[in-house]
A and B are shown apart, each in its own frame.
Chain A
Amino acid sequence: MLSLFLIGCDPWDLPDGGYQFIESTWDPAVVAASDGVYVRLPHAGQLVRVKPDGTWSQVDLDGATPEKLIPTDSGNGLFVVASWPVCDDDDPLVVNVDDCPGEKLSTEYEVALVQDGKRVGNAALDGVAPQVNAAVYSHDGEMAALYLDYNGEEIVVDGFVNLNEVAFVNLGSGSVNRVAVGFAPETILFTGDDKRAVILSRSQVAVVNLESASEDCEAWDVCVTYPLTLDADQAVVPNNVVLVADGSYALVSITSKKDVYVLDLVNESIDLLELDNVPSAMAVDEANDRTVFVYDSAARIDVVEHEFFELSSFSTDEPATSVVATSVGMLAYNDQNYHDVVTFDAATGDWHEQRAENPVMELLVAEHYAVATMRPDNYTSGSGTSAFYDENYGFGIFPLSPVTGDDPIDAISLVLESEPVGLALSADDEGEYALLLLDGVDTLLKVNLGNASADEISLEAPPIGIQNSPDGRFIVTGDTGVGMLSFVDPVDNGVVTVAGFATSGLAAPAVLPRREEKE
C-alpha cells in the first residue's frame, strides 16, 4: 500500500531513463543439484541457489566471483571455480574494486566444493588448480577426479599450470589428493569397484590406487604406467577408453591411429589390437562381454570379444560415427550426412536398420525407444514430402526391437517448427516420453513415444535449455534477462516457474573482499 502511494497507481509503469549495456546477468548453464539449482550471475559476481519453492539465496563464496560451475554426477553439490580481486593498497578508503589503482589490482583463483548452499569446510579446496574444467565420478558418487580437459578455451595462468595433475576430491569431506599422472590427462575411468582409476594422458596410461596402501602400491600413487610409445619424440594422444565389464582390461583408442591398445589391468601387460580403419567410436556391450567399434570412413562394425581379443567384422550399408548400448543390443548411427540407425547384435553379428529422415543432431536412448533430433538436410535434393522434411528440423522416434530376423518397427519422423534446443527423456507407468524444447517457442513438448502424440506444457518464456534434476523433475531455462527457471514435473505436467533471481546484486558496487585477512 505504501508502495502504491509512493509510486503511483500503476506500479509497473516504469519511468524512462538511461540505457546501459552490461555483462550477462545470468548464465543459463545452470547446475541442478539435489538441494536446488545453482546459477552463476556474471554481472553481479554471485552464485545463487534457486529452490522450487520460489526462493533464492546467495551462496557465500567469501567475496569470490564464480567463473565456472562443474556439476557432480550424484547431484550432491557442485564444484565452483572462483576468482577474487586483490588490491595491494592498504588505504582503508580503498573499499570497492573501482577504488583500487589498476597497477595494484590483481586476481586470484580457487576451487570450492559447494553443498547445501555453502562451501564445504567453509573454505576453498586445498591445492586444486583453478584451471580444472572437467570431472569424472566414481560409481558410488563419493569421489571426483578433477582435471583440465583442454579444448582450446582460454586458460588463465597464475604463476604456472601443472598439466600433469589430477585432483581426487572426496565429496563427503572435501579432502583432496593430487596425483601426477602424466602430461595432459585426457580421460579418466574408475574401475567397477572404485578402487582404482585408469587415466589416459599423452603417450601413457596410468592406474592410480584410490584405497589404502597395498603390498605393491601406496595409496594415491600411480601403481602401473602403460607407455603407449617407447619413442619420447612421438606424442601418442589417447582418444577414448573403455573398461570391460569386470574391469580387468581397458581398451584405449588413439587419435588418428588404427591401433587400439589392450591394457591388462590385472597382469599389468599391454597388447595391441590392429584395426583396418581409425575407429570413430567404441562401446562395451556388457551383456555379451564384447567391445564394438564403428567407423566414419567404412561401412563396417567390428566386434572384439574379451577373452582372446579376437576381432570379427560385419559389413553394414553406411558408416557410423557413434555407437551406444541399448536394451536390445548396440545402436550405431551417424551424425554427419548418413541416415541409417542400426541395431546390432554383438554376439551374432546380425543387424537391422531404421532410417532417420535427416542427419541426427542428438540421440538419446530410453528403455524401449531411441529418440533423435535432426537438422535440415542440405545435401539431398528430394521432392515432395521428402523435400519438405529435408528443409526442416525433425524429431525421430526409433522403436527398439531385438535383431531376430524380423523387420524392425519403422521409425516415426516428426517435422519440427524450429530448431530443437533441448531434449530429455522421462518415463512413468503408462509409457516413455521425450521432452522437447524448440527455439523461440514458449511451450515444452511432451511426446508420448508410444503413439507420437504430444502434450504442450506452457512456459512463461521461450526456453533455451533443459536438464534433469536429481529429484526427477526437469529444469527448463527461459530466455529472459532477469533469470527464469521452470521446474517441470514430467508425471503430472506441473510447472513451477521461478524468475527474477538474476537481479540479485544488479546494482551493487564490487567490493574488495577479504581485506581483513590481508591485514
Chain B
Amino acid sequence: MLSLILIGAALAGDRELDVHLSVQGSDDPGWNYLSEDGHLTSIGLRGGYPLHKHLVLVGGWEHGASGMEFNSYDDSGDDGSETSFQTGSYMNQFQLGLKSGWGPSNWAKFYGTVQGDMLYGIVRVDDDPDDDENAGQVEATGVGFGVLAAAGFETAVPLGKSGLSLAFYGELGYTWLAPTHIGEVATIQIDGVSGRVGTGLRF
C-alpha cells in the first residue's frame, strides 16, 4: 500500500528548471579541427512543464565553446616559415521534446526523453587575435537539425514545506544531427553517445 502511494506521488508531473553539463561525442572528423578532444562539451538550461501526470514538455538551450590554434607551413617559399591562426567555435543547441518518468518514490525516478534538436553554430577564425580589427577575421554560421533520445535517473530532495524540491539527475543517450555546414568553413555532424548531469528545482 505504501509502495503504491509512493509510486503515485512520483508519477505526478512537476514543473522543472535545471542547469546541466552535457557531453556529446561524434566520430565526425570535422570536429577534430574545432575541438581539441573531438567532442562537444556544453552547459545548458532546461525547463519542463507538465502536460499530463506521465508527461512533461521539456525545452532547453545548450552552449558549448572551444578554441584551437593552427600552424601550417607557408607554401610561399623554401624557408620553411609558418603561418598561424586561431579558431573559436560556439555551438548552441535548442531542444524541445517530451519527457516521461516512472519511479518507486517521489524522491527517485527513472525517465526517458525524446527531443528535437536545432544547432546554431558559429565559427570564428582570426589570424591575429591581438588585433580586433584585422582583415583576417572570418565568421561563419550555420543551422542544423536532429534528434536526441536519452534515459536517466533523477532524485529529488524536498526543500522544507515550500513545495520546492531540489533535483539531481544524470542521463545517457544518443544525439544525431544531420551534417551541418557552418558557412564555407566547417561541415560538422553530431552522431554519437551523449550524456548529461544536472541539478534543478521541481515545483
Q: Give residues 181-201 of B contacting A (CB, 8 Å).
A: 182, 184-188
Query: Looking at the complex, which one of A15, A481, A507 makes contact with B83 (CB distance below 8 Å)?
Result: A481
Q: How far is the CA of A497 from the CA of B36 in the complex (A)?
A: 32
Q: How far is the CA of A58 from the CA of B132 in the complex (A)?
A: 27
Asked whether B122 is an interface residue with its Cβ less than 8 Å from the other chain, the reply is yes
Q: How far is the CA of A484 from the CA of B187 in the complex (A)?
A: 23
Provide the main secondary structure of the chain B interface: strand
Whether A18 pairs with B35 at a CB distance below 8 angstroms is: yes
Q: Report, nearest first, the 3 A-B pairs whose CB atoms are least far apart.
A: A18-B36, A17-B67, A14-B88
In angstroms, how far is the closest chain B Cβ from the Cβ of A404?
Answer: 43
Q: Which residues of A contact B (CB under 8 A)?
A: 2-3, 6-7, 10-12, 14-29, 42-43, 58, 96, 98, 460-461, 464-465, 477, 479-482, 484, 497, 499-500, 503-510
* Chain B neighbourhood of A509, CB < 8 A: 28-30, 187
Whether B185 pairs with A479 at a CB distance below 8 angstroms is: no
Q: Give residues 33-88 of B contacting A (CB, 8 Å).
A: 33-37, 63, 65-77, 81, 83-88
Q: How far is the CA of A17 from the CA of B70 in the complex (A)?
A: 10
Q: How far is the CA of A497 from the CA of B136 in the complex (A)?
A: 10
Q: How far is the CA of A42 from the CA of B81 in the complex (A)?
A: 16
Q: How far is the CA of A482 from the CA of B84 in the complex (A)?
A: 8
24 A-B pairs with C-beta separation under 8 A: A3-B139, A6-B63, A7-B65, A10-B132, A12-B126, A15-B66, A16-B67, A18-B35, A19-B68, A20-B32, A21-B72, A25-B70, A29-B75, A58-B184, A460-B134, A481-B70, A481-B71, A481-B85, A482-B125, A499-B138, A504-B184, A507-B30, A507-B187, A510-B29
Given A25-B72, A503-B140: 18 more A-B contacts, CB < 8 Å: A14-B67, A14-B88, A16-B67, A17-B35, A19-B68, A25-B70, A29-B76, A58-B184, A479-B81, A481-B70, A482-B85, A503-B138, A503-B185, A506-B33, A506-B87, A507-B89, A507-B123, A507-B187
Whether A14 pairs with B73 at a CB distance below 8 angstroms is: no
* Chain A neighbourhood of B70, CB < 8 A: 19-22, 25, 481
In angstroms, how far is the closest chain B Cβ from the Cβ of A420?
Answer: 13
Whether B135 pairs with A460 at a CB distance below 8 angstroms is: yes
* Chain A neighbourhood of B34, CB < 8 A: 507
* Chain A neighbourhood of B122, CB < 8 A: 3, 6-7
Query: Looking at the complex, which one of A28, A43, A465 makes contact with B72 (CB distance below 8 Å)?
Result: A43
Q: How far is the CA of A6 from the CA of B91 in the complex (A)?
A: 9
Closest to B123 in A: A507
Asked whether B95 is an interface residue with its Cβ less than 8 Å from the other chain, the reply is no
Whether B72 pairs with A22 at a CB distance below 8 angstroms is: yes
A506 and B185 in contact, given A24-B73, A481-B70, A482-B125 (Cβ under 8 angstroms): yes
Whether B65 pairs with A15 at a CB distance below 8 angstroms is: yes
Q: How far is the CA of A432 from the CA of B70 in the complex (A)?
A: 42
Whether A506 pairs with B186 at a CB distance below 8 angstroms is: yes
In angstroms, how far is the closest chain B Cβ from the Cβ of A47?
Answer: 13
Asked whether B124 is an interface residue with its Cβ less than 8 Å from the other chain, the reply is yes
Q: How far is the CA of A27 from the CA of B83 in the complex (A)?
A: 12
* Chain A neighbourhood of B125, CB < 8 A: 482, 500, 503, 506
Asked whether B106 is an interface residue with its Cβ less than 8 Å from the other chain, the reply is no
Query: Looking at the complex, which one of B89, B127, B182 makes contact with A480 (CB distance below 8 Å)?
Result: B127
Q: How far is the CA of A58 from the CA of B81 in the complex (A)?
A: 27
Whether A482 pairs with B30 at a CB distance below 8 angstroms is: no
Q: How far is the CA of A3 from the CA of B92 in the complex (A)?
A: 10
A6 and B120 in contact, given A96-B29, A480-B83, A500-B138 (Cβ under 8 angstroms): yes
Q: How far is the CA of A461 from the CA of B137 in the complex (A)?
A: 13
Residue among A10, A20, A460, A479 with most chain B CB within 10 A: A20
Write the B147-176 contact mask toward A (1 if CB under 8 angstroms, else 0): 000000000000000000000000000000
